A and B are shown apart, each in its own frame.
Chain A
Amino acid sequence: MTLARSGPRRRWAYQLDVKGSPYFYIAPFFLLFGAVGMFPLLYTAYVSLTNWNLLEPTRHWVGLANYAELLTDDYFWNALFNTVSIWLLSTVPQLLAALFIAHMLNRSLRARTFFRMGVLLPNVTSIVAVTIIFAQLFGRDFGMVNWALNLVGLDPVDWQAGTLSSHIAISLIVIWRWTGYNALIYLAAMQTIPEHLYEAATLDGAGQFTQFRKITIPMLRPTIIFTAVVSTIGGFQIIAEPLLFQAGTGNPTGGSDRQFQTVGLYLYEQGFSLYKFGYASAIAWTLCLIIVVMALVNYSVTRRIRRS
């Protein structure tokens, strides 16, 4: 009797436990994401359609006017150019160097763990400290880089003043911080490649480089796609390095002629220095769309290259 009465209820509780609890367990993430991720995202979209300025008491609906203004804004295109340039200058050498370092670390080395952990060290340093130190290294009058150039008889460079020179300096900060991180990801992927492939190739008389090109790289394809996409997302959002490259001056213009102002920095200038929240939100959403498009392009290009 007791069994018959409690049966359906227990079955219901069992059903709830099986079907319901997974949702319950993942709920905290989605609730948090909704509050601190999704809501700001949608709210930013709404703000981008207004002319909200923090210093003015009223705001009005302006439709797509902010986006229309953005398309004809020289400073936005300048920032986009700088972003793409710094992204290319940092990502390409970074991933190539990471591949090479991973390949080296994959061999039998003495103190292998030491070297493997060592390449990650730049990544755990403070970005503020690193950027300020790099800015000193690239100083005009007493920077170490110009001192070295002088030693080999070259003229000093005003790194911050030039467009290409400032992009190179900022890219080096990114490369220095992220190469080791990507190398470790490649290394992990390399270790899943079956050893017998290399043995067979060696028997067939393939050299080190051929093995690297014909076995390692194709086998790493998904990992390369992953790192390329992640680097693209990071590269397009770059803001701390160009901001701190002109440290102390307190203004996010990215150089006297905006020569190293990235889109992220332009957003910061419009939003938090000029308080144009509507316009800054439009920049944020445009940047988001650009990143999505670039990630997709990146994905398909990387796929095609490896397939052919």
Chain B
Amino acid sequence: MSAAKLRLLVGVLAVGVFTAGCGGSTGSSGDGPVTLTLNLFGNMGFKDLYAKYEAAHPNIKIVERTSAYNDHHRNLAAHLATGSGAADVEGIDTGFIAQFRAQPERFVDLRKHGADGLKDRWLPWKWQASVAKNGAQIGYGTDVGGLAMCYRRDLFEKAGLPTERDEVSKLWPDWASYFEAGRKYTANKPEGASFFDGGAQIFNAMIGQAETGYYDASDHVVVATNPVVRSAYDEVLKAVADGESAKLVGSSPAWNTGFAKSQFATIACPAWMLAKIQDQAKAFAGKWDIAAIPGGGGNWGGSYLTVPAQSKHVKEAVDLITWLTAPEQQIEVFKAHGILPSTVATYEKPEVKNLKNAFFNDAPVGQVFTAAALNLKPQYQGPRAGDIQTAIRDAINRVEEGKQDGPQAWEQMLKDVERIEQ
């Protein structure tokens, strides 16, 4: 094969690959049919709403693709960096929003599409968390987790603690009294059932309430210097040393088993975790109950809908996410799936306000979780907060596993954090 022919062949191949790579995203202007793609993770509860939207907008067709939590966010990072492959609408979890907010040029600035007029829809901290340094708003909030303390009435009774949820809430206005209750519980604890599931999970709930967490407002990591981080760390490890922890790593298979085997009596639980507890602890219906979280406010999880700048249908995509995150639609999602909205207006609706959960001994879940979401003081989240959280979780685990003492694990964690920061 001559050089010229070879070059021709390579050229033809390259064109073929190029056109294949661009397939499916042919741009269209005007009123022609438009297919909007949504890349989401897990079930965000929108499926029933698409048909409604398509009926009202005959030129729009909606395609949803879902993948696993970590895969979804890793793919999104790659698609944004390489400038192709992202969908018209991308879901982003709270744990990743700070990382993506740091690259606002890769997303549509929703302020250019009337975001400022909608601002009052959301909890202030929910709105603020997706605002970039340059002021751009990159996403609209969907759900929040809120945070409560789920507990086992039967285990509390055996250990001689109060069992009614109001009394239990009074038992722990702050974390110090929570750990104190844990000491009392541990002194009479039923065989095999520790006070809480794992130190790292409790630590996360504590640090989430602090005014300043892992970052200061100018994106500097302050783990080493923020006294709140160290005192929460020490308090948790003290409780671990007192035998309050079941030493389970959150979301691991062993942790799942822990629900079924009654390995812990309390767990910090956001709204979305209730379904999980019901699944894992089927045999304990009515024995679980829900009290307020120590410290009063909290949040764990929740998501955003964003429109990547590379989308070919920016206007249509923005219209769709504006509609999906509106209170009218969010209340539908809540009714069908129990996913708690971040739109404040829905909290006054009787469907939300008066919601009770039979599995949790008829606990007023609507009130508990909206109160936690409303009481949360906004905390500035830096781009690598999630990775830092993992480093601290590993440090607490090392102590729980008996491999290191508190100060050793702390030193090693600071080195890890330094590397993450680079």
- Write the residues of chain A forming the contact surface with B, with a CB cutoff of 8 angstroms: 31, 35, 54-55, 57, 132, 135-136, 139-142, 158, 161, 246-251, 253, 256-257, 272-275
Tell me if B225 is interfacial: C-beta within 8 Å of chain A: no
- Compute how far the CA of A262 lies from the CA of B263 in the bound complex, rounded to whole angstroms: 31
Within the complex, the shortest CB–CB distance from B97 to chain A, in Å, comes to 13
Contact, CB under 8 Å: A253 / B390: yes
Contacts of A136 in B (CB 8 A): 253
Within the complex, the shortest CB–CB distance from A257 to chain B, in Å, comes to 6
Tell me if B397 is interfacial: C-beta within 8 Å of chain A: yes
Given A55-B383, A248-B253, decide whether A257 and B403 contact each other with a Cβ distance below 8 A. Answer: yes
- Nearest A residue to B80 via CB reads A54
- Write the residues of chain B forming the contact surface with A, with a CB cutoff of 8 angstroms: 13, 17, 69-70, 74, 77-78, 81, 99, 102-103, 105, 249-258, 261, 263, 383, 387, 390, 393-395, 397-398, 401-404, 412, 420
Pairs across A and B, CB under 8 Å, 18 listed:
A54-B81, A57-B103, A139-B253, A141-B254, A141-B263, A142-B254, A161-B403, A246-B249, A247-B253, A248-B256, A249-B252, A251-B390, A253-B394, A256-B398, A256-B403, A257-B403, A274-B420, A275-B77
- Compute how far the CA of A139 lies from the CA of B261 in the bound complex, rounded to whole angstroms: 13
Interface of A is mostly: loop
- Nearest B residue to A73 via CB reads B419
Contact, CB under 8 Å: A55 / B77: yes
Which residue of the partner chain, among B17, B255, B397, B402, contacts A248 with CB atoms under 8 Å?
Answer: B255
Contact, CB under 8 Å: B69 / A250: yes
Contacts of B257 in A (CB 8 A): 139, 141-142
- Compute how far the CA of A278 lies from the CA of B256 in the bound complex, rounded to whole angstroms: 37
Which residue of the partner chain, among B251, B258, B398, contacts A250 with CB atoms under 8 Å?
Answer: B251
Contact, CB under 8 Å: A142 / B261: yes
Contact, CB under 8 Å: A256 / B397: yes
- Nearest B residue to A277 via CB reads B81
Contacts of B383 in A (CB 8 A): 55
- Compute how far the CA of A257 lies from the CA of B102 in the bound complex, rounded to whole angstroms: 30
- Compute how far the CA of A139 lies from the CA of B99 in the bound complex, rounded to whole angstroms: 34
Contact, CB under 8 Å: B254 / A139: yes
Top 7 nearest A-B pairs (CB, nearest first) are A256-B397, A161-B401, A256-B394, A248-B251, A54-B81, A256-B398, A248-B252
- Compute how far the CA of A55 lies from the CA of B384 in the bound complex, rounded to whole angstroms: 11
Contact, CB under 8 Å: B74 / A272: yes
Given A256-B394, A257-B398, decide whether A55 and B254 contact each other with a Cβ distance below 8 A. Answer: no
Within the complex, the shortest CB–CB distance from B398 to chain A, in Å, comes to 5
- Nearest A residue to B394 via CB reads A256
- Compute how far the CA of A253 lies from the CA of B394 in the bound complex, rounded to whole angstroms: 9
Given A54-B78, A55-B77, A136-B253, decide whether A274 and B387 contact each other with a Cβ distance below 8 A. Answer: yes
- Compute how far the CA of A136 lies from the CA of B256 in the bound complex, rounded to whole angstroms: 11
Contact, CB under 8 Å: A31 / B78: no
Which residue of the partner chain, among A55, A142, A274, contacts B102 with CB atoms under 8 Å?
Answer: A55
Contacts of B102 in A (CB 8 A): 55
Contacts of A132 in B (CB 8 A): 253
Given A141-B263, A161-B403, decide whether A257 and B394 contact each other with a Cβ distance below 8 A. Answer: yes
- Compute how far the CA of A44 lies from the CA of B102 in the bound complex, rounded to whole angstroms: 26
A-B contacts besides A140-B254, A248-B256, 5 pairs, CB < 8 Å: A54-B77, A247-B252, A256-B393, A256-B398, A257-B398
Contacts of A31 in B (CB 8 A): 13
- Compute how far the CA of A185 lies from the CA of B420 in the bound complex, rounded to whole angstroms: 45
- Compute how far the CA of A21 lies from the CA of B174 in the bound complex, rounded to whole angstroms: 80
Within the complex, the shortest CB–CB distance from A245 to chain B, in Å, comes to 10
Within the complex, the shortest CB–CB distance from B6 to chain A, in Å, comes to 11
- Compute how far the CA of A135 lies from the CA of B256 in the bound complex, rounded to whole angstroms: 13
Contact, CB under 8 Å: B401 / A256: yes
Contacts of B390 in A (CB 8 A): 251, 253
Contacts of B420 in A (CB 8 A): 274
